[in-house]
Amino acid sequence: MAVADHGSFNRAAAARGLSQPALSNSIAQLERRLGIRVLERTRRGSQVNEFGRILLEGARTVDAVLKQTAERVRLKRLGVSGPLRIGSTPSMTLKFLPDLMAVLLKDSGAVQISITEGLDDQLVPALQAGELDLVLGPSLGAALPSDLIEEELFYDSFCIAVGPRHALAKRRSLLLAELKDQPWVLPGPGSAYRRHVEALFLNAGVSWPADSVVSNSLPLVESIVTLTNRVTVITRLQAIAHNFWRIRAIPLRGAGVRTLSVKWRRAGDMPPLANRLMQIAHELAASYQEAQRKHARG
């Protein structure tokens, strides 16, 4: 890891507080044990080869787990539960995660919890690397990496969002084909949500809008839609959870639903606080689904 990070034996040895010969001997022993070379030495330094990259990936995960375990021991001595590192996509931070934290914190005593908001393409690699313990966000389904486990939480339907004075604001439902000439605000690349929206356009046979503003900030998307004549795709959860600008959410016919899930690493033990959070997440998800069923009947 040190050689990969610093690009040379000399710099890596200095960073680790070792002599250069000691580090070289350590790498030589590692390569003899594996029966392969993992580093390529050049006149400009050293870098990992294809075997080294595999080894490095596992080493970083192990290193992160060991550091977290040591931190758990330290916090236990102080009477603190944790650490718990949660990753969440933007739509989950609007309501579900705050509701989840309210229950968790009510009966957990002293805790150390960190929350990272980001897109799936950022959070999933961080989870795989051991930098996060759990990720809340859209289900990856068949695209889920083999080293992760995913459990479904609840379903969320799609809507079209327009401002309160938009010409379509009084419609009870819409088809995507009716909006092909509208100016749009759309999610940016790097998330399962963007891929969901792309699939909606593809399945409806509607071209991806050329007249578009792209942003992954949900509050910004809502404000633009409210203050202009642009339209966007949102979910029912987003419409209910965070609607400061009072946008109009119109059901999108034929759009189906998306599944929200919790993900964690297949290897290793879950921190006790993470197990408690997952239990609450499933209970809260069940209450969400029941509320949606009542809303549909009403």
Q: In which residue are the tokens 């004075």 written?
A: 165
Can you give the pLDDT at residue 153? Answer: 96
Residue 237 phi, psi (nearest 5): -60, -45
pLDDT in tens, 89-107: 988 998 899 999 999 999 8
User: What residues have CB less than 8 Å from 81, skipping those under 6 apart?
Assistant: 75, 108, 109, 110, 111, 112, 272, 273
Residues 204-237 have pLDDT tens digits of: 999 999 999 999 988 898 899 999 999 999 988 8
Residue 276: the pLDDT is 93
For residues 276-288, one letter each, b for 16 or more C-beta atoms within 10 angstroms of the residue's C-beta and e for the rest, the string is bbbebbeebbeeb
Higher pLDDT, 269 or 113: 113
The predicted pLDDT at position 297 comes to: 64
**Type of residue at 218:** L
pLDDT at 292: 72
Residue type, 37: R
Q: What is the pLDDT of residue 272?
A: 86
pLDDT digits (tens, 9 = 90+) for 51-91: 999 898 888 888 877 888 888 888 888 889 989 999 999 88
Q: What is the 3-state secondary structure (H, E, C) of the chain?
A: CHHHHHCCHHHHHHHHCCCHHHHHHHHHHHHHHHCCCCEEEECCEEEECHHHHHHHHHHHHHHHHHHHHHHHHHHHHCCCEEEEEEEECHHHHHCHHHHHHHHHHHCCCCEEEEEEECCHHHHHHHHHCCCCCEEEEECCHHHCCCCEEEEEEEEEEEEEEECCCCCCCCCCCECHHHHCCCCEEECCCCCHHHHHHHHHHHHHCCCCCCCEEECCCHHHHHHHHHHCCCEEEEEHHHHHHCCCCCCEEEEECCCCEEEEEEEEECCCCCCHHHHHHHHHHHHHHHHHHHHHHHHHHC
- pLDDT band, residue 253 (cuts 50/70/90): very high
Please give the pLDDT value at position 103: 95
Which one-letter amino acid corresponds to residue 58?
A: G
Weakest-pLDDT range from 79-83, 133-137, 206-210, 282-286: 79-83
Residue 296: the pLDDT is: 64
Q: What is the CATH code of the structural domain delimited by 2-59? A: 1.10.10.10
What pLDDT shows up at residue 241? 66
Residue 82, pLDDT score:
84
- Can you give the pLDDT at residue 84? 93
Q: Which residue type sits at 156? A: D
Q: Please report the pLDDT score of residue 185 as a whole number.
A: 97
What mean pLDDT, rounded, does the chain reach?
A: 90
Count Cβ atoms below 10 Å from residue 163 Cβ, excluding itself. 22
The structural domains of the chain, with segments of one domain joined by +, span 2-59
- Within 10 Å of residue 295's Cβ, how many Cβ atoms? 10
